[in-house]
Structure 1
């Protein structure tokens, strides 16, 4: 590994530790302060951002591809045109979304099932959250330069600052003012304003005046190039959203904020696993894009196939251990009244390893700007999932068992859309003849997931994990055993040697 990759890895570890601490503390803190019903409004606000980000983050994703290739090839004027044109697009999108924001917040009680006593606070929460989201897009555009230069370490500084400020400001407002849902939105607004200022300072110091953002760099060709790719990224994001986050909306609509709050809380562990896996997987995105820019396609292919396996195995190990200990985790984290919802947690977690592994293949076909096929199929799969979920809920009669059925079906569609579809697109793009290897990798990931879950479950049968300290020890012990067994049983000899050489580079 290069020195910069080492720096990125270390900063990822630090960001992970901060993220895990914030995640384990922040959600139960909000539930204790607000109650599960009031907290149920918070995931809804965050999910709305994800739906709007279908348009805006699709733009930043498209820009990353064009901007990074130009920057790596030393075409600074071209890179300036892409960045300046994207700032114009983001501004226009914000202006177009403003009337929708006003209508949406004004009619919030018609869109969601929110109790009357929480409606006023919920409107403040959604208002500030939507404004914060638009501010974060400008920060993301500025930070694309860091991604293109493989400065993941500096990007992690931004992420750590965002996480820390969110927690500190929330505690301060709850202590000195009141424990109100509306303050969470204002905290996000204040945090994103500081992040935007910080990102601009980092951007100016990084580009050394080589890249400029100005009206003089606006360019029709650059604008159309970014927009043409953005269209298909948007289509794919629509399908993704329909698969991964639509369940919370549906549960809120057919049940209440209580059920959507519980589902949002147990779903958070999937986000924590993805954050943990990001320690490794985020290293490969810039490397794949740089290799593609230099037309080193054999390197791109080897990076994708092997590292997809590593990422999937790591996610399987983490998800499996948490699945095996899901009952005590829910009991200690949220409360014993919610332990019976552990099947929801299992269904939200077991798809994570396949989704994480597929993300590495997504780096490749986005570098190639090959998005039409995955985008269209993602929308089709997402639409089918949405239709089936709604039909189930229509016949539920308020029975929570149907939420379980909905999550089972959604998890099947998620695996189909993530690992299977991405593997197909990758193999088609490179005319990859060893499709059997991709299927074997799928089975290896599944094996590690089941092995880790089984080890955790058996451990819990013989040793008590009723207290937080006991649970931490159990996770460490089972995780280490599962890691050793996975290393010995799953990896080939040359893969073991490569992993060991990676580890030696840090010593």
Structure 2
């Protein structure tokens, strides 16, 4: 792992830790400042606008992949031409966002007539209009972040992200303390999204000397972009449908309170995902280079195993800690009335762990331009999840949506995608699971068993939770370093600590 990747990995996990800590502290504060009803409204409108954001048509992910490809091949002219065509497409996309946004804005009253009050609908319309403006500008200028990632400049991208998180949090907390509500939060987010996009653009043009120049406009070039991006687009639809449909469904058939419960659960799921996605995102340029060099399936499987073991080690600690201490955490974090958040989050955590330790596999699919099956299968998954969620939410509320989501994950992201990895991509899935589980899985189970002893510590305060959590982390670290990690992994986790003492 080169210096950029190492430092990028460290900064990525600093960013994740910061995002998680800020989210865990900020969410209950925001919940109390807004109240459960307005918090649910804020999450509902955010989810609805999220569907419009898929009009990006997968171009952000496509830009990341193609820039990494052109960099690996040293094709500067090809990259310039690709970016020129991509930004032409973004002009059309911005117009579509405005068009679709306007149509939905005019119909918000009929869509949520049964679930929102007159006051809630008024606030929803204002937030929706601001977010559409945000999206229209941030989609094209946001592309520069993915250009920088394609260059492998993870340090700059992640550092900028960290600064944005800190400044945005300070500003939002300030406006909430001043008595402003959800509309003010949306305005703050819009300002920071646009400023961040402009900073990335300056970095690309001034530091990376990126040029956007149309050398030749060929239909074949547009076709090549859309042949890849259409399936990235479908995956974006899937992501929005799968993780946001529960909130919209509950907003239509239930109430903003039910939306708040489910939204809190999904917030925890997103934090869980970020731990795995941060490290796999660093390997996009490396995977692109391996594929360009026609690396064997065994070499790609080896990389997938190496990254997957690190991901499982990190996710295992979070999973064990949540199983043992999650109920106490939810009570302290969100308060009374949100007990279902624990069960919904846990139901999703368990099956989600499998695709989260295989995120390099998805990167391989993108590098090989083989994401069509995955995209279509996951689209089917989202459709089934929606239908089952709609049925179960009427009878079981938020818990029903959680059950539907967990079942969909098991069927598609655990079973079907691994069959595809094995028989179509030719990755050695059996060796992957054997090697990833070796040592790590037994250590996780032993920690889970021993960790319940921490519940003997009396009390229900944050201090008690911190003591119990520290004990679980200590037990996990001892067991992992005793027989869970191999030599390379021990070095990977110990080296940053030892370097601090050497200094």
Q: Same fold (TM over 0.5)?
A: yes
In the other structure, the counterpart of 2:127 is 125
Shift of 1:37: 0.8
Q: What is the aligned partner in structure 1 of residue 212 from structure 2?
A: 213
Determine if contact 1:150/1:286 at 8 Å carries over to the other structure: yes
**Is 1:417 the equivalent of 2:416?**
no
- After superposition, the Cα gap between the structure-2 partners of 1:370 and 1:29, relative to the gap in structure 1 and judged at 3 Å, is same
CA contact (8 A) 1:323 1:349 kept: no
Q: How many residues align?
A: 493
* Residues 68 and 284 in structure 2, CA contact (< 8 A), matched pair in contact too: no
* Counterpart contact for 1:364–1:426, Cα < 8 Å: no
User: 1:450: how far off?
Assistant: 5.5
Question: Counterpart of 1:115?
Answer: 117
1:198 aligns with 199
SS at match of 1:295: coil
| In structure 1, C-alpha distance between the alignment counterparts of 2:279 and 2:414, rounded to whole Å | 18
Q: Which residue of 2 aligns with 1:185?
A: 186
> Residues of 2 paired with 1:412 and 1:447: CA distance?
25
Cα distance in 1 for partners of 2:217, 2:98 equals: 24
RMSD: 2.6
**Deviations 1:230-273 (Å, cap 9, x if unpaired)?**
12222233334333332222222221000111210122111222
Kept in 1: contact 2:443–2:480 (CA 8 A): yes
User: Cα deviations across residues 180-224 of structure 1 (Å, max 9, x unaligned)?
Assistant: 21111111111112112211121123322xx31245565533222
TM-fit CA distance, 1:449: 6.2
Counterpart Cα distance in 2 of 1:217 and 1:206: 26
- How far the C-alpha of 1:35 sits from its partner, in A, is 0.2
* Match runs of 1:27-426 below 5 Å: 27-56=27-56, 58-112=58-112, 113-176=115-178, 178-208=179-209, 211-214=210-213, 219-297=218-296, 298-339=298-339, 341-394=341-394, 396=395, 401-426=396-421
- Pairwise mapping of residues 472-491 of structure 1 onto structure 2 (< 5 A)? 472-486=466-480, 488=482, 490=484
For residue 47 of structure 1, give the secondary structure of its aligned residue in structure 2. Answer: helix
Change over 3 Å in CA distance of 1:135–1:218 after alignment to 2: farther
Partner residue in 2 for 1:427: 422
SS of the residue 1:212 aligns to? coil
Alpha-carbon spacing, 1:28–1:480, altered in 2? closer, same or farther (3 Å): same
Task: Decide whether aligned partners of structure 1 residues 56 and 18 sit closer, same or farther in structure 2, where only a CA change above 3 A counts.
Answer: same
CA distance in structure 1 between the partners assigned to 2:27 and 2:318 by the alignment = 20
Matched residue SS, 1:296: coil
The TM-score normalised by the length of structure 2 is 0.90
Whether the aligned pair in 1 keeps the contact of 2:134 and 2:190 (CA below 8 Å) is yes
Query: Could you state the TM-score of these two structures normalised by the residue count of structure 1?
Result: 0.89
Using the TM superposition, give the Cα deviation of residue 387 of structure 1 relative to its aligned residue in structure 2, in angstroms.
Answer: 1.7
Distance verdict in 2 for CA 1:277–1:341, change over 3 Å: closer
Of 356-365 and 409-418, more deviation after overlay is shown by 409-418
Offset, 1:360 = 1.8
Residues 8, 282 of structure 2: 8 Å contact kept: yes
Q: Any idea what the Cα deviations from partners look like across 1:277-302, whole Å, max 9, x if unmatched? A: 34433333332223223333454331
Q: Which one is further off, 2-11 or 130-139? A: 130-139
Aligned to 2:492: 502
1:455 deviates by 4.5
- 1:327 Cα shift? 1.3
CA distance in 1, matches of 2:481, 2:417: 25
Instruction: Name the CA shift for 1:392/1:442 in 2 (closer, same or farther; >3 Å).
Output: farther
Q: Deviations over 1:310-346 (max 9, x none)?
A: 3134213212312321111111111133235432232
Q: Residues of 1 paired with 2:189 and 2:356: CA distance?
A: 27
Quote how far apart the aligned CAs of 1:14 are: 2.6
**Cα distance in 2 between the residues matched to 1:323 and 1:123:** 39
Structure 1 unaligned segments of length 5 or more: list them: none
Cα offset for 1:447? 6.2
Moved more, 238-247 or 409-418: 238-247
Give the deviation of 1:172 after TM superposition: 3.1
CA distance in 2, matches of 1:380, 1:447: 35
